[in-house]
């Protein structure tokens, strides 16, 4: 029996070590990830009406979205620097704010939304959705849907689940998701289409230690928080390191 417990401990430890690290910069150029990027592009095109799929501009937009989703997810995780598997990392973020400032699923949601707003979209709509809101398993992701069409076909993009290794799902594969238009409205205000905000910019900063103690970073009172000051320092360092570029993924 002792050997069984030792095996389980070793297995769990190895799993935690394998999953805690963010992807390396060359992760998105590995052949199997390049293939996944191409597969996502094709899945996005299939969301569009048949007459639009052959448009060169539609294909370019789908390619940019697919590539950016994978590249940005990995870069976001590197900036959040996870310590453990996602659910354990949540505890670190929520209970010990001086260890990790960010890493919750909605942090990743907001960050991926920010990166996918760097280009105006003409064929697709970017949105936010939530599952099991108000419960212990509450989860937040972004989605893409055809523009100006009914929300009957969407693709869910989850940068948090595998610590920057993008998880892609169809809505039919994940029941119970609800639109979150309030978050979209606030994020669109902070990140207008084509914005140049740096990757270190956060949509919300924490004012206390509770889950609800966050305010949007563009509010005047946000400037009084420790997290806002920390964010500004990270932005300065990042912009200097990149030679003034807002991101480098």
Rounded to whole angstroms, the Cα distance separating 203 from 105 reads 14
**In Å, how far are 101, 155, 177 from 152, measured between CA atoms?**
36, 10, 12
Instruction: Tell me which of 8 and 54 has the higher pLDDT.
Output: 54
Query: pLDDT of 5-52, one tens digit each?
Result: 544 544 444 454 445 688 999 999 999 999 999 999 999 999 999 999
The ranges assigned to domains in the chain are 13-191
Please state which of the ranges 33-37, 166-170, 241-245 shows the lowest mean pLDDT: 166-170
Which is nearest to 153 in space by CA: 20, 227, 50? Answer: 50
Q: Say if CB 163 and CB 86 are below 8 A apart.
A: yes
pLDDT at position 11? 45
Q: Are 104 and 93 in contact (CB under 8 A)?
A: yes
Which pLDDT does position 170 carry in this prediction?
A: 81
Range in 81-85, 152-156, 230-234 the model is least confident about: 81-85
Q: Is the dihedral of CA 48, 49, 54, 57 positive or negative?
A: negative
**Mean pLDDT of the region 134-153:** 82
**Region for residue 225 given its phi and psi (left: phi exceeds 0; alpha: psi -120 to 50; beta: otherwise):** beta
């Amino acid at each position: 029996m002792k050997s069984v417990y030792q095996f389980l401990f070793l297995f769990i430890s190895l799993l935690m070590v394998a999953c805690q690290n963010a992807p390396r910069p060359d992760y998105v150029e590995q052949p199997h990830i390049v293939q996944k990027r191409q597969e996502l592009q094709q899945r996005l095109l299939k969301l569009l009406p048949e007459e639009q799929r052959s448009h060169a501009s539609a294909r370019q937009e789908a390619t940019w979205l697919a590539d950016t989703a994978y590249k940005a997810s990995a870069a976001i995780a590197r900036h959040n620097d996870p310590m453990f598997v996602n659910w354990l990392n949540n505890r670190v973020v929520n209970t010990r704010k001086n260890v990790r400032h960010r890493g919750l699923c909605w942090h990743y949601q907001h960050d991926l939304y920010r990166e996918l707003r760097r280009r105006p979209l003409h064929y697709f709509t970017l949105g936010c959705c939530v599952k099991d809101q108000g419960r212990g398993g509450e989860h937040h992701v972004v989605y893409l849907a055809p523009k100006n069409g009914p929300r009957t076909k969407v693709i869910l993009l989850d940068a948090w689940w595998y610590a920057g290794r993008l998880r892609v799902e169809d809505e039919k594969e994940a029941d119970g998701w609800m639109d979150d238009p309030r978050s979209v409205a606030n994020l669109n205000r902070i990140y207008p289409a084509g914005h140049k905000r740096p990757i270190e910019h956060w949509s919300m900063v924490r004012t206390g230690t509770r889950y609800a103690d966050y305010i949007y970073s563009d509010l005047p009172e946000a400037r009084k928080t420790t997290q806002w000051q920390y964010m500004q320092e990270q932005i300065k360092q990042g912009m200097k390191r990149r030679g003034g570029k807002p991101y480098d993924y």
